[in-house]
Amino acid sequence: MKLPRARECGKCVSCCVALGVDEIAKPPKQRCEHLKPQGGCGVYAVRPGSCADYRCAWLAGAFGLERHRPDRLGLMFDQADSEASRKLAAVAGNAWLIARELWPGAAASGEAARVLAALATQGLILLDRWGGSTHRNLRGPEELVRAAQAALGEVPA
C-alpha cells in the first residue's frame, strides 16, 4: 500500500541506509551506492519500485513532530510488509510499529528513548537494533509482548 506524502524528506536519507532493497541487492543497514555525496538519490528518476513506494511513518504524517524526522531522532518507524509484520498485525492489529535504529545506541538516547517509551504504552514496538546482531527487541504492554513472542516463536526473556 502506498501511503500519501504528508511531509517532505528534506535531507533525510535514513531509508536509503536502514532498509534493504532487493531490486538492487542492497543489504539493510548499509548506505545505498546510489546516494550522492551531497545527499539525494543518483537514480531517483528510475529508482526501484520499493524505494518509490516506501513511506516511513514520519513521512506519511502518521507519527511525530518535525524534530522526530528519522535522521534527527535516530529511529525510523514503519509497518514494513514481511512475515514477522503479518504475525505482529495478527496479535496487535494496527497498534504496532517497527522501530529501526539508525546508528548504534540511538534507541537509548534522550528523545528517542522517550518516544519509544511513549509509543510502547500505546501498542507493540519491534525494535530492530543497529549492529551486527539480528537481535530484535519487543516493547509494549506485557500481554502484547507475550503474545507477539509466541507468534514469532521467540523465547521470552
Does residue 78 share a domain with residue 110? yes
Q: Where are the alpha helices (DSSP H) in the chain?
A: 15-18, 49-53, 70-73, 83-92, 110-120, 142-152
Does residue 62 share a domain with residue 40? no
Q: Structurally, how many domains does the chain consist of?
A: 2
Does residue 97 share a domain with residue 156? yes
Q: Is 7 contained in some domain?
A: no
Does residue 155 share a domain with residue 80? yes
Q: Is 130 contained in some domain?
A: yes
**Given a cut of 50, is residue 1 above it in pLDDT?**
no
Q: What is d(CA 96, CA 147) in angstroms, rounded to the nearest whole number? A: 13
Q: Domain range for residue 31?
A: 13-54
Tell me what pLDDT residue 23 has.
Answer: 93
Q: What is the pTM (predicted TM-score) of this model?
A: 0.84
Does residue 124 share a domain with residue 135? yes
- Which tens digit of pLDDT belongs to each residue from 100-117? 999 999 999 899 999 999
- Which tens digit of pLDDT belongs to each residue from 115-136? 999 999 988 998 888 875 555 6
Q: What is d(CA 26, CA 48) in angstroms, rounded to the nearest whole number? A: 11
Does residue 122 share a domain with residue 45? no
Q: Is 8 contained in some domain?
A: no
Does residue 28 share a domain with residue 98? no
- Residue written as grid cell 516463536: 153
Q: What is d(CA 6, CA 48) in angstroms, rounded to the nearest whole number? A: 21
Q: What is d(CA 64, CA 28) in angstroms, rounded to the nearest whole number? A: 23
